[in-house]
Copies of this chain bind each other. A is one copy, B any other.
Amino acid sequence: MDLKKVRKIGIIGVGLMGGSLALALKSKYKDIEIIGYARSQKSFQNLRRIGVVDRIERCPKKIARQADILVLASPVGAIVDYLKKLSAFCKKGAVIFDLGSVKKEIEEAAKKYLPKDVAFVGCHPFCGSEKTGAKNAKPSLYRNSICFITSKNSASFMVGKIWERLGSRVIRISPAVHDELVCAVSHLPHLSCFSLVNGVPDKYLEFTSSGFKDFTRIASSSDKLWSDIFLSNKDKLIKAVDEQIMIFSQFRQAIKKNDRQKIQSLIKKANRKRNKIL
């Protein structure tokens, strides 16, 4: 599909990510109509009040029938369901892309369910906020952020151009490498942080330092969203948890044996990696 011929973009899941995408698209593509899906009457009223999309529909199939580009911006589990449910209703020649934070499962579902004349592009804009919901949407969310694209078809170049227009840096990698990467830098850190906070006895919570507060900010993240992500990236995450338990055990053994040199070398390794980030 030619980007110039796109008239309507449908967004299923108008929360923080979908809502911000709607606002960003509206500011860059003035002639395209953005249609948002509202599951309930309440969210319909809510979306109308906030005004992040041009039109609101209560039926996702109706959106699929009209949309030149259909964006799936729900949690990973729901994206897979929509690929299945909407596949029969998509416009011929349409492009579907998603914003899910795990890619292998979604790419597999797209291959399985979508007809040949509908192209799928797996996307993961690597940004966000602890805040959720369309009310926190902002047009600048994707500016200066990374967007991973895990599909290799011709539509993926058009979708890449859209992300670049919104200010993102596009990184093209395979779904498997993507899932391993986000496991290491996002999913495991969340699991690790939840675990750490769970281990602090309640009576000591008032004595935490500002460092601890920074460190555990992500422990406030949503249980629904993150249980969904953990289960969608199950295999990579279990492997990463096992590696963490191994590294913990290395520290444990070195401390037990008073092996100062080993402890120092484990810390120095962390120093070196951390300094590479900056």
- Chain A: residues with CB nearer than 8 A to chain B? 126-127, 146, 171, 180-181, 184-186, 188-189, 191-202, 204-209, 211-224, 226-228, 230-231, 234, 237-238, 240-245, 247-249, 251-252, 255-256, 258, 260, 263-271, 273-278
Q: Across the interface, name the chain B residue whose C-beta is closest to A237.
A: B255
Give the chain B neighbours of A269 by CB distance below 8 A.
198
Besides the known contacts A192-B195, A193-B270, 11 further A-B residue pairs in the complex with CB atoms under 8 A apart: A146-B207, A171-B207, A184-B200, A185-B209, A189-B212, A195-B247, A195-B251, A215-B217, A216-B277, A221-B271, A223-B264
Task: State how many angstroms separate the Cβ of A194 from the closest Cβ of chain B.
Answer: 4
Give the chain B neighbours of A242 by CB distance below 8 A.
252
B227 adjacent to A204 (CB under 8 Å): no
Give the chain B neighbours of A268 by CB distance below 8 A.
223
Give the chain B neighbours of A228 by CB distance below 8 A.
260
Q: Across the interface, name the chain B residue whose C-beta is closest to A212.
A: B185
Q: Report the Cα distance A273→B269, complex, angstroms.
A: 31
B205 adjacent to A193 (CB under 8 Å): no
Query: So how many copies of this chain end up in the complex?
Result: 2
Contacts A193-B215, A215-B214, A252-B242 known; A198 to B273 CB distance under 8 Å?
yes
B185 adjacent to A247 (CB under 8 Å): no
Task: State how many angstroms separate the Cβ of A124 from the closest Cβ of chain B.
Answer: 11
B247 adjacent to A209 (CB under 8 Å): no
Task: State how many angstroms separate the Cβ of A188 from the closest Cβ of chain B.
Answer: 7
A220 adjacent to B127 (CB under 8 Å): no
Q: Across the interface, name the chain B residue whose C-beta is closest to A194.
A: B270
Give the chain B neighbours of A271 by CB distance below 8 A.
219-221, 223
Task: State how many angstroms separate the Cβ of A220 from the closest Cβ of chain B.
Answer: 5
Give the chain B neighbours of A211 by CB distance below 8 A.
186, 189, 217-218
Contacts A207-B171, A241-B248, A277-B208 known; A215 to B215 CB distance under 8 Å?
yes
Closest 10 CB pairs of A and B: A223-B267, A194-B270, A227-B263, A219-B274, A223-B264, A195-B247, A197-B270, A219-B270, A241-B252, A184-B200
Contacts A215-B214, A227-B263 known; A256 to B273 CB distance under 8 Å?
no
B197 adjacent to A274 (CB under 8 Å): yes
Contacts A218-B211, A245-B245 known; A194 to B251 CB distance under 8 Å?
yes
